[in-house]
Amino acid sequence: MKIGITCYPTYGGSGVLATELGKKLADQGHEIHFISYALPYRLKGFYRNVYFHEVQVSSYPLFEYQPYTLSLAVKMYDVIREFELDLLHVHYAIPHATSAWIASEMLGDDHPVKILTTLHGTDITLVGQEESFKSITRFSIERSDGVTVVSRYLHDQTIQALQVGSPIEIIPNFVDTEVFKRRGRSDCSRDMLSPDGSKVIIHISNMRPVKCLPDVIRVFANVSREIKARLVMVGDGPERAAAHRLAEELGVGERVVFLGAQESIASLLNCADLALQPSSNESFGLSILEALSTGVPVISTRCGGPEEVVLDGECGYLSAVGDVDEMSANALKLLSNDDLYESFSRVARQHVVEHFTIQKITAKYLNFYRSILCGRQEAGREG
């Protein structure tokens, strides 16, 4: 197949999944064309059967805001025509699904192409519920030939929030279990992150309000009163400075390391003893999946997606959003009991290998591609 993929090229989960999916499909002999305003950060180096097409947005004084949606649509149109794509897979509804629909209208019957839209979370739970975007989000989704979501939770949210009438397939996120797996501690920077042998707790996010960074700091402060521990904060975003201040106020600033955005997530997880992800809303939780794949138990919340990834009481613990005391107690329970910890670590890895490998999920996408190209799709079915 000849497949176009459009995603945000940044560090977020939607861009990561889209890029890794494209690379895996290319490995299997499919021709993959990425279309975006910048090279996806996971697309470094040369890959057979992979092409990148940069969207150029011209700057005109007449426009207060540059029309990226239109520029993207034109680039999609050009790439589809030149390379005769069979399918265009767009990740994140706005503006990608809108641009894809415009491109398909421009093509008409001369170059018919199927459009698949994958919804990842905030495109529905945040952007899609803004009154100024709700109608165009619903329109763009319903004009797609196929729609997928990354969790049952997001499926239900999409139906409830937008009253979408189109069938929606559930295909979860995946992880490359050969990249995210436990290796020897000499394979990471453990001595740098924890020179005194303290337990390493890790948090990975874009540090936005929904990630609840104050809860991360408070849980860590509670834990560090009982055992020697260090907190490694990976990522960057608007809440980083406030989290740093709170750590200082609680007297744990010297034991918290802010690394900023990092590419070597697998290596950092290999150094970690526990992942702390106490979000207030999460449609899936790719960072949770990566931690579990590495054998790192997770402390998270019942906020939608984590319930579909974490086996509560078996490979991690789930608490009510904001329940700092329970999350602290659960973290201490795991970090203070070697036998319990080893059991959770083993189940975490096994759970991911059984349900969320890149091979299994790529196969589900390929089956769905074929059903779209043949004009078949069933409503609300889990892939």
Cα 293 from Cα 312, distance rounded (Å)? 16
Does residue 84 share a domain with residue 120? yes
Residue type, 73: A
Evaluate whether 316 touches 297 at the Cβ level (below 8 Å).
yes
What's residue 128's pLDDT? 57
User: So what's the pLDDT on residue 127?
Assistant: 64
- The reply to whether 379 falls in a domain is no
| Residue 164 and residue 202 share a domain | no
Q: What is the mean pLDDT of each run of 10 residues along the chain (383 residues)?
A: 93 85 97 95 89 89 82 97 97 92 92 93 69 86 95 92 89 96 74 88 95 98 97 96 98 96 91 97 94 98 96 98 98 98 98 98 97 69 50
CB atoms within 10 A of CB 80: 25
Q: Is residue 179, in this structure, part of any structural domain at all?
A: no
Q: For the chain, how many structural domains are there in total?
A: 2
| Contact predicate 222/250, CB 8 Å | no
Domain-embedded: residue 311: yes
Tokens in use for 43?
Answer: 């697309």
The answer to whether 116 and 88 are in contact (CB under 8 A) is yes
Domain membership of residue 278 (yes or no) is: yes
- For residue 34, the enclosing domain spans 2-174+357-373
**Same domain, yes or no, for 253 and 118?**
no
193 with 139, same domain: the answer is no
In the chain the beta strands, taken as DSSP E runs, fall at 2-6, 31-36, 50-54, 87-91, 114-119, 146-149, 169-170, 199-204, 229-234, 256-260, 274-277, 298-301, 316-319
Instruction: Give the pLDDT confidence score for residue 188 in this predicted structure.
Output: 65
| The pair of three-digit structure tokens given for residue 241, joined into one six-digit string | 């400075």
- Let me know if residue 180 belongs to a domain: no
Residue 378 located in a structural domain: no
Do residues 105 and 193 both lie within one domain?
A: no
For residues 344 and 330, what is the distance between their CA atoms, to the nearest angstrom? Answer: 12
Q: Which amino acid is at 242?
A: A
Task: Give me the pLDDT at residue 84, please.
Answer: 95
| pLDDT at residue number 332 | 98
pLDDT of residue 381: 46
| Same domain as 340, residue 321 | yes
Distance (Å, whole) CA 310 – CA 292: 8
> Any idea what the CATH number is for the domain that residue 19 is in?
3.40.50.2000
Instruction: Please report, for residues 107, 222, 238, 246, 248, the alpha-carbon distance to residue 241 in angstroms, rounded to integers and kept in the order given.
Output: 48, 20, 7, 9, 11
Q: Judge whether 211 and 279 are in contact, CB under 8 Å.
A: yes
Query: Phi and psi of 172, rounded to 5°?
Result: -70, 165
Q: What is the pLDDT of residue 185?
A: 64
Distance CA(268)–CA(157), nearest Å, equals: 33
Q: What residues pair up with 88 in beta bridges, in sequence order?
A: 4, 115
